[in-house]
Structure 1
Amino acid sequence: MNKAKSLLLGLAVSLGAFQGAVAAEPEKDELKFGFIKLTDMAPLAIALEKGFFEEEGLFVELEAQANWKVLLDRVITGELDGAHMLAGQPLGATIGFGTQSHIVTAFSMDLNGNGITVSNAVWEEMKKNIPHENGKPVHPIKADYLKPVIEKYKDEGKPFNMGMVFPVSTHNYELRYWLAAGGINPGYYAPHKGDTSGQIDGDVLLSVTPPPQMPATLEAGTIYGYCVGEPWNQQAVFKGIGVPVITDYEIWKNNPEKVFGVSKDWAEKYPETHIAVVKSLIRAAKWLDENNNANRPEAVKILSKPYYVGADYDVIANSMTGTFEYEKGDKREVPDFNVFFRYNATYPYYSDAIWYLTQMRRWGQIAEHKPDSWYMDIAKKVYRPDIYMKAAKELVAEGKMAATDFPSDSETGFKAPQKEFIDGVVYDGTKPTAYLEQFSIGLKAKDKL
Structure 2
Amino acid sequence: MLNVSRTLVRTLALATALFSGVAAAAELGYPEKEELTFGFIKLTDMAPIAIAYEKGYFEDEGLYVTIEAQANWKVLLDGVIDGRLDGAHMLAGQPIAANIGYGTSAEIITPFSMDLNGNGITVSNDVWAKMKVNIPKQANGKPVHPIKADALKPVIEQFQDEGKPFKMGMVFPVSTHNYELRYWLAAGGIHPGYYAPHKGDTSGQLDAQALLSVTPPPQMPATLEAGTIYGYCVGEPWNQQAVFKNIGVPVVTDYEIWKNNPEKVFGITKAFAKKYPNTTIRLTRALIRAAMWLDENNNANRPEAVKILAQSNYVGADYDVIANSMTGTFEYEKGDKREVPDFNVFFRYNATYPYYSDAVWYLTQMRRWGQISEDKDDSWFEQVAKSVYRPDIYQAAAESLIKEKLATPEMFPDFDSEDGYRDPQTHFIDGIVYDGHQPNAYLQKFAIGLKAGQVL
Look up the match of 1:356: 362
Look up the match of 1:276: 282
Does 2:444 align with 1:437?
A: yes
Does 2:94 align with 1:89?
A: yes
Look up the match of 1:4: none
Q: 1:21: Cα distance to partner?
A: 9.1
**How many angstroms apart in 1 are the aligned matches of 2:87 and 2:453?**
37
Q: 1:266: Cα distance to partner?
A: 0.9
**How many angstroms apart in 2 are the aligned matches of 1:257 and 1:445?**
27
**How many angstroms apart in 2 are the aligned matches of 1:408 and 1:145?**
42
Tell me if structure 2 keeps the 8 A contact 1:82–1:263.
yes
Tell me if structure 2 keeps the 8 A contact 1:21–1:390.
no
Instruction: Show the 5 A alignment for 1:235-250.
Output: 235-250=241-256
**How many angstroms apart in 2 are the aligned matches of 1:245 and 1:305?**
28
Identity of aligned residues (%): 77
1:22 to 27, 33, 55: 27
**How many angstroms apart in 1 are the aligned matches of 2:261 and 2:125?**
28
1:411 to 408, 418, 439: 418
Look up the match of 2:295: 289
**How many angstroms apart in 1 are the aligned matches of 2:155 and 2:45?**
32
SS at match of 1:342: coil
**How many angstroms apart in 1 are the aligned matches of 2:169 and 2:51?**
30
Does 2:79 align with 1:62?
A: no
SS at match of 2:28: coil
1:74 to 67, 79, 86: 79
SS at match of 2:47: helix
Q: 1:22: Cα distance to partner?
A: 3.2
SS at match of 1:344: coil
Q: Which one-letter code corresponds to 1:391 in the other structure? A: A
Does 2:319 align with 1:313?
A: yes
TM (norm. structure 1) is 0.95
Look up the match of 1:422: 429
Q: 1:446: Cα distance to partner?
A: 1.0
**How many angstroms apart in 1 are the aligned matches of 2:104 and 2:381?**
19
**How many angstroms apart in 2 are the aligned matches of 1:173 and 1:422?**
13
Task: Give unpaired runs (5+ residues) of structure 1.
Answer: 1-19
1:131 to 136, 139, 153: 136
1:337 to 343, 359, 374: 343
Q: 1:415: Cα distance to partner?
A: 0.4
Look up the match of 1:14: none
**How many angstroms apart in 1 are the aligned matches of 2:199 and 2:379?**
26
Q: 1:168: Cα distance to partner?
A: 0.2
Instruction: Show the 5 A alignment for 1:6-405.
Output: 22-133=27-138, 134-405=140-411
Look up the match of 2:3: none
Q: Which one-letter code corresponds to 1:347 in the other structure? A: Y
Q: 1:267: Cα distance to partner?
A: 1.0
**How many angstroms apart in 1 are the aligned matches of 2:277 and 2:198?**
36
**How many angstroms apart in 2 are the aligned matches of 1:88 and 1:447?**
23
Deviations 1:6-60 (A, max 9, x none): xxxxxxxxxxxxxx99321110000000000000000000000000000011000
Tell me if structure 2 keeps the 8 A contact 1:53–1:280.
yes
Tell me if structure 2 keeps the 8 A contact 1:21–1:397.
no
TM (norm. structure 2) is 0.94
Q: Which one-letter code corresponds to 1:53 in the other structure? A: F
**How many angstroms apart in 1 are the aligned matches of 2:163 and 2:102?**
32
The farther-off stretch of 261-270 and 108-117 is: 261-270
SS at match of 2:418: coil
Tell me if structure 2 keeps the 8 A contact 1:166–1:208.
yes
**How many angstroms apart in 2 are the aligned matches of 1:23 and 1:336?**
34
SS at match of 2:112: strand
**How many angstroms apart in 2 are the aligned matches of 1:29 and 1:404?**
31
**How many angstroms apart in 2 are the aligned matches of 1:427 and 1:403?**
28
SS at match of 2:271: helix
Tell me if structure 2 keeps the 8 A contact 1:289–1:342.
yes
Q: 1:445: Cα distance to partner?
A: 1.3
SS at match of 2:27: coil
**How many angstroms apart in 2 are the aligned matches of 1:320 and 1:40?**
9
Tell me if structure 2 keeps the 8 A contact 1:22–1:397.
no
**How many angstroms apart in 2 are the aligned matches of 1:21 and 1:181?**
52
SS at match of 2:234: strand
Q: 1:433: Cα distance to partner?
A: 0.3
Q: 1:114: Cα distance to partner?
A: 0.1
Q: 1:404: Cα distance to partner?
A: 1.3
Does 2:444 align with 1:448?
A: no
Task: Give unpaired runs (5+ residues) of structure 2.
Answer: 1-24
**How many angstroms apart in 2 are the aligned matches of 1:75 and 1:154?**
42
**How many angstroms apart in 2 are the aligned matches of 1:46 and 1:81?**
18
Look up the match of 2:14: none
Q: Which one-letter code corresponds to 1:433 in the other structure? A: N
SS at match of 1:221: coil
Q: Which one-letter code corresponds to 1:115 in the other structure? A: G
**How many angstroms apart in 2 are the aligned matches of 1:200 and 1:415?**
33
**How many angstroms apart in 2 are the aligned matches of 1:291 and 1:29?**
32
Look up the match of 2:17: none
Deviations 1:260-286 (A, max 9, x none): 000111111111100000000000000
SS at match of 1:132: coil
**How many angstroms apart in 1 are the aligned matches of 2:38 and 2:372?**
29
Deviations 1:199-234 (A, max 9, x none): 000001000000000000000000000000000000
